[in-house]
Each structure stands twice: as C-alpha cells, then as structure tokens.
Structure 1
Amino acid sequence: MSARTASPFGKRGGAVLALAGIVLFVFTLWAAGNQMDQPQQGGAPALRTGGRGFDGYAAFAQFLGKRGYTVDPLQSEAMAGQPGLLVLTPPHDANLQQMERVIALHRANGPVMVILPKWKSSGVVQRVPDGKYKGTVVEQLDAAVPRWLGWHDELAIDLYPLASKSSKGRWAGLGAAGNLPGIEAVQSAQGDGLVPLVTDTETDRVLAGYLDDGDYPALRDAADYDEPESKPYQRTNRFPLVLVFEPDLLNNWGFAKIESGRLAENMVRLTAGRGERRIIMDQMIEGAVAQPPRKGPSLIKQAFTPPFLAATICLILTALVLFWRALHRFGPPLLAARSIAFGKRALIANAAGLIQRARRLHLLGAPYADAARERLARKLALPARLDPAGTETAIDRALLVRAPGSEPFSIIAARLRAARRPADLVSAARQLHALERTLMR
C-alpha cells in the first residue's frame, strides 16, 4: 500500500489563497487599464507623439540624420550639459522655468536653437460614414502667438497676414529663398539685440534671428552667406541662441519644399559651428499645465460587458469548481511508488535487464563456467593448489565415479565459454546446472 503524506494546506489556507488570487486578478485589470490611458500631448515636439503631424518636426530630424548628423533625443536636464547643437521645440504652454534652465545650462557647452510655437493642434477621432473607426488625425485649430511673460520681454512677437497674396510668403536668408506654405498667419519678431537671419522679403520682418549677446562671427557674416562653410566660434562666456519665430520654415508642413531643407542645413551648419555633427532634439520640455489624460474603457467594466461577459462567467465557474475540488478531495495525496524496488530479486532483474539492453549476453558464459567450477571444487574438497585445468580434470574423474556415462564437466564448460547465441548459452548453462546437482547429491 502506498504511504500518505499530510496536505500542505488546510481548508482555511486554501480559502485565503483563492481569495488572494481573485484580488490580485482584479488589481491586474485595474492597473492594466490605467496604463492604457495615454496622456494627450499638446504642442509640436520634435520626436514626441504628434511629431509626424503637419506642425511636428520629424522631417527635420530625419533630414539631419540623412545629412550625416547624429540626432539624439533630449530626455533629461543632465543631457543639456553635453556638447552639440540643442534644438528646442516647446509648446505654447511650455514650462518656462524648465526651458530657461536647459538653455542656460547648454549655452555654456554649445549653441541653442529655439523654434517658437505658432499652431495649436489636437488629436481627434475621424470616422467614415458607416461608423467604422478610421484613425486619429491632427486637426488644425488656430494660430496664436506664444504668451511667455518674463522670457525675453525685449522681443515683440506678432502674428500678421500678408498684405497681398501675390508675394506668396516669400522669405530669404542664409543663401536660400522660398515661399511659406501658408500666408494667412506669419509669425515674426522685432526688438533690440535681435540680429536677423531669415526675413520676409516684402516687409523685412524677422522670421529667424539670433541674440547679439556675444562674438559669433559665423552668424555675424550670415548676411553675406554664400557657401555652406561655418567658422569656428570665438569662445566667450556662452554660445549663441538662435530663435526661429516662424515654425513653418522648419516643420513638416514647410519641409514639403526643397528650399526648407537647404535653409535647415545652412542654419544648422552656421549655428552648430565647424566640425560639430551632433544634434540634440527636444523630447523633454512639456507644457506647464498638464493635459488631462484621455480615458479609455475600463478593463474591469469590459470584463462584465458582452461579448466578454460569457468568458468571465466561465472563468468564475471554473475557479469555483477548482476551489470545491480542492476542499473535498479524498484525503491527502498518495506518495508515488519507487521506480526501483528493494530486494535481491529486483536487483537481479535490473542487472539482467541492463545486460540484455547492452547486448552483452555472450560475455556471461566464461564467468558462469568459472563460478560452477569453484563451487564444485569446494563441494568435492579438491586441493586449492590445483590450476583451473587440473580442477576440471578432477571434477571429470569424480563425475565418472558417481554418474558413469555422463558428459564430462570440462567439455560442457568449454562449450559454454564458446557459445555466442542466447539459445546456445541457455542450453550449455542448463547442462552445467544439472551436472552440479548430480555431483552435489
């Protein structure tokens, strides 16, 4: 009979484990549902969500990568202390204190380019007429000037429509010229200490420029820019700060034209300085006011709503059946029997099975014959000084006296030693066993 062992859990312990499993399952559904709620991003960051919209800068980043620059994302303020050109694309509601810290930290190690926001956009769900989900698109809301009180108040930023559509939003600067993609709202700036880099050819308004707060020979000679060859910076106390007031010069909408690519490369070369091939793109500056999360359907509510309700009911019934079966089992579990039993019979059977599987039966003849010879020598009290041949001869003489006409022991033993087939081995072994019984009576 198999032995029994005590159950590791009682009824109370099993109930506690089942209840804990149910609580953890509900908590998992709740946690997974919260992770599915994605925050709604505002603005037009370079590499964040929305960067591929018309007001994003994914095309700008990819273009720089194709031109041999190394484009890294800015993911922490600590990265602002690394060398290279830092490109910031803050939203309208940017955290000005954070942005100012990042700019001040990086200008001690490299130049900074800030592309000011103009377009306000949001993600909306677009559906086809039959009601099926088609996807998320970016809807243009309006153009607005960023109201950043306390951040370079000496600059006056304005938003104006072009006086005539015949100008087509013509801009020029840094050895390039082209047309803006939209002329209904053009963003520019003016103020003391602002040196123009790109201007509106009709109104001479500054669309992009830099602050004249240091010695920047490459940017100073930008008015006579002809070839894309930058000059090294004369290191003063900080590197230049370039401001792009009209984002349509460098965003995805403006990058549909080849002139924007030429302007972007020339501006990056002049701003970064000679030999600098690293660009750090903004992926950190968030809005000062967090956008409310876009709540998705709760997983717990979905679990009890068709068509998932049927699967939830089946899961609950299965859990109840397993719990009932665990509480009403017939005693503790049985111990498994040993794979190898104790005793001489089991040991002999295992050894025989091993020899048979190894196909070494032909090696058993000689040891069996030698063992029979030694047993008969002890039984007949033969002298120990005899060699094996002499012992077998003495056994043959004793057999001739006790059983005249029997086949001699030496002949049967020789036949057993020479046998190779299993049938020959068994036959010779039986004859040798019968001879032993005859001599030992």
Structure 2
Amino acid sequence: MAAETSPNPFARGAVLLMFAIGFAAFIALLYALGAGGALRSANNGQAHGASSSLVGYSALAHLLEKTGTRVSYGRNPAALSQQDLLIVTPQLGSDPEELQAMVEQRAFTGPTIIILPKWQVTPLQGLEQGWVQLESPYLALQAPQILSRLVTAKTRLEGVDNRFASMLFEQPENADQKKAMLKQALKSRVTISGDRLTTVLADSRTGAARVALIQDGGWYPSLDPDAPDEAPQAPGVQQGRYPVVIVADADLMNNLGLANRKTAELALNIIDSAWSGGGEGVVFDLTQNGLGASENLLSVAFRPPFVGAVASLVLAAIAFAWMAFFRFGPPLSEERPFGFGKSALVKGSAGLVRRLGREHLIGPAYADLLRDRAARALGLPPSLPVDEIDARLALVPADESGRSYDALLNDMRSARDRPAIAAAARALHGWKKERMG
C-alpha cells in the first residue's frame, strides 16, 4: 500500500525546544559527572577558604578580591601546582604525609601558607547554612601533629587567665560557666615554637611567634629580618626556593578575626610578605578539608586545551541535527486499507472498479441515477415508466452551453474511458443542479 504524509503531531518549534532541552540536559549531566564533588556546596561550617562560618576564611578571600587579587579554590592536584600563593587550611585529622608531599612539591613552584586549626565548633541547626557555635580553642594545642613530617613544633595559648585555663578543655556545667569560658577563649592567642622556625609575627606581650617561617635553606628577605639584602652564594642556600609560612593563630585570618580592621590589615601584610615573587593570585586549598575532586576524562574535557575540541564536537552535533530535521519532513504513514466514512467508501469502490477494469459500466449506471434524482426533484410519481420520465425531462430547458437533457444523457451512456466519463458526469450533474437544485 502506498505511503502518504501524515499530519505532524508536534509543531516544529515544540520539537526543537524538546531537542534543545534534552541536549542541554545531556551536556549538563556530562559536566556534572566530570566535576564530581566540585559542584557540592563548600559552605559547611569548617575552617577553609570557601566557608562563611566564624572559623572560615571567605572574608579573607573577599578582601583579597577587593584589592584586585585573583582568588581561586583548589580541588585537585592540578590547581595546587600553580605559581600563585597557596593557602592550606588542614584539619586536625589531615594526613601529615600528604601535607608534606604538597609542601615539597611546591618548594620551587610557589609560596605556601599553612593556617593551623584553632577552634572546635558545633553546627547550629535550623539557621543559615554553615553557621556554627564556638566551643573551645583546644584544637590549637593539638595542631602541631599536622606538621610532624615538616617540623617539630609546639603551640601555646596566650592571654588566658590561669584560673580559667583548665576550663577551656572541660565540659561546662551550666550556661554561666560556658559564657565565662567562651569569653576567655575569645581573648586567647596562639603562639608556636620550634627548632627550625623563624618568627615572622611576634605576640605583642610574650614575644613568641604567632606566625613563623620554616627554615628550609631558602632566602626570604621579606619574611626573615635577619636575612641579607642580597642572595647569599653559600652552598647551603637554595636559590629559587619559595617559603612555607605557618600561621599558628587562625584568628589572624579567619572570619572571626577579620571583623577587626587592624587584624584585616595585618592579614594582608602577612600575605604580601609571603608572596616572595610568586604568582599574581591566591589559591585556597580545599583538598585537605574533604572537598577535593578527582581527575577523570570528563573533567579534563571541559578544561583547556580540550574544551575547544569538545565545543567543536557539540557545534557539529547541533549542525547535523539541524540538517536531519529539515531534510526529512513530517513522518510518513501507510495508507489505510479501509478508510472511514462515505468518502472513504466511494474511494474504495472506485479503486475496486478501476482494478477490475469495469470503468465503462459506470456511465449508464450514473445516467440512471441522475434520471431518478431529477424525477424526484420534479415530483414525478415513482411508478411512471422510464420512457415517460425521459420524455418529461426532455422538456426541461437546456443548460448554459445549449445541451439538452437527451444530449447529456446520450453522452453519459456512450462514455467509455475515464476522462470522457468524468466530463459527461460533470456536465449532467451541472444541468441537474442548475435547473432543479
């Protein structure tokens, strides 16, 4: 059975919109699979650069951006191998060996600042995401274990009254005791000491180091006041090495501390001193805080230099889809073997007559049909003989072309091929409609 064009069930715009939405969703899925954990919200209340909690460092990131510094967040090893200044905010449970490997890898790549943890916090449920409550600064005394593979160090809490010192590490019995403990904790300052540490920022009261520099054989005149103005040529000095700065007191750079203008200025000065000829930006490491993203082929595909090839493939796919959409029109469907309604019945009967080769029999039958209809239109009795009916119909005036009923009837009966039958039937039907309605 021949095929025919069926009506399109969807408008062209609707099909294009569905295709565009599906294609965009597919690309978004590929990107999400490649990005992995990079799409997760990092504002989880912990102490890292993307956290807006009291112990986070998002204020420092915003402050650096306001000064024109390019700020980014490192979630994979590739982001940590840049020449920019790297700010590492390890947790108490971070692996010292991983931290050592990171620092040694960057020894001749760029400067590094390690901010030790200080505060133990608990999340505040039912409030803004990432909000926490300060509990105790006891993490500061355990923080040196993170540096165990880099340097032997010890931290100390300064500025705390002796009678409250033990309370900082005990569970308060009531709200008043907790309030007094927190008040003392907010006054505390953390200092660090060690054999291979040089003081960068000293505590104003005790003289101990709140910020220190690891002595690793490099030349850092911006951080070490005892360093010579010119690079020494001694065999033990490693030219081109970048510094590793340890910030023992996190309140010098976290959101809690940067609420103070002087502390914010001090934080910028520390970063400027630590830059030491590094890159022009700052990278906040998130891998030490459980927010890293592993490398895979999809993640590489969405980064230079492969992103250009991916974009070209996407455009080519869109072009092929566009060509296919306009080349093949609406869908084709097979013609029904048996249609519905009077027109389908007439069409089927005509096809059957044509296939059987009986078209020449249509003329006389149609002539008899038109005679009966004309007789009913004139109100002639059904019992009237055929000859009498023809005689009375012959009295009806001819059509506009001058052909009478007898002539039209003879043409209809004598027609044998399809064009002649169609022309005679059209003329006879026109005469009947014109004279009798």
- TM-score, length-scaled by structure 2: 0.48
- TM-score, length-scaled by structure 1: 0.48
By percentage of residues, which structure has more helix? 2
